[in-house]
Chains A and B, each alone.
Chain A
Amino acid sequence: AQSVTQPDIHITVSEGASLELRCNYSYGATPYLFWYVQSPGQGLQLLLKYFSGDTLVQGIKGFEAEFKRSQSSFNLRKPSVHCSDAAEYFCAVGEEGGGNKLTFGTGTQLKVEL
């Protein structure tokens, strides 16, 4: 069965510093991978997705992620974090043939210090 691991429960970075959130997945075939962000009391907003092709994908709000098949990873990065980026971030894998059944990780809570 597919699974997603986000090893870091909490991360704190200074405003302006770079950010990398880790995500490892377990999946038998070519995965459909997603990063979502959730602000308190709200739903999930899609940051970016990987279906195939270029392994470096660009998303909204200046985020990017790199798919590394050899490491079963899909880490999220941002070169310079803003205080508005403080939120919870979820990595998810979708079943082959459709992204409709998503399996999520437990999330990483990002805190940004001024």
Chain B
Amino acid sequence: DAGVTQSPTHLIKTRGQQVTLRCSPISGHKSVSWYQQVLGQGPQFIFQYYEKEERGRGNFPDRFSARQFPNYSSELNVNALLLGDSALYLCASSQEGNQPQHFGDGTRLSIL
């Protein structure tokens, strides 16, 4: 089975622009979570969606939003990009409950 897939792999934007990142979970996984990993740090939790509903939100501004589709894929949107949004954005999926998460290879976002 395919793992968690994320697109695009790399992205370059300028300040003030908007970006959409995409994630396809492992087949059968209903939960998708998003993390931001700034260089030299551990991943920080942004959102979790389960069965198309938001189940958790981290300490990120309203410029960050996400949604989950009926096929359990997900999008992360970031508006009004700032230089500090430059990071590796990771998507993780799990079945449900206390199952461990499986991560994709991430989208590297660079803001100029």
List A residues at the B interface (Cβ < 8 Å): 4, 32, 34, 36, 41-46, 49, 51, 90, 92, 94, 97-107
What total of A-B pairs shows CB separation below 8 Å? 68
**B61 is an interface residue with CB less than 8 A from chain A:** no
Q: Which residues of B contact A105 (CB under 8 A)?
A: 42
Is the CB–CB distance between B41 and A107 below 8 Å? yes
Q: Which residue of A lies closest to B97 (CB)?
A: A98
Q: A49 to chain B: closest CB distance in Å?
A: 5
Is the CB–CB distance between A43 and B104 below 8 Å? yes
On whether A100 and B41 interact (CB within 8 A), knowing A34-B100, A44-B103, the answer reads: no
Assembled-state Cα–Cα distance A41/B90 (Å) = 11
Is the CB–CB distance between B98 and A51 below 8 Å? yes
Chain B 85-108 interface 0/1 with A at a Cβ cutoff of 8 Å (1 = within): 000001010101111111111101
On whether A100 and B50 interact (CB within 8 A), knowing A43-B90, A46-B100, A90-B42, the answer reads: yes
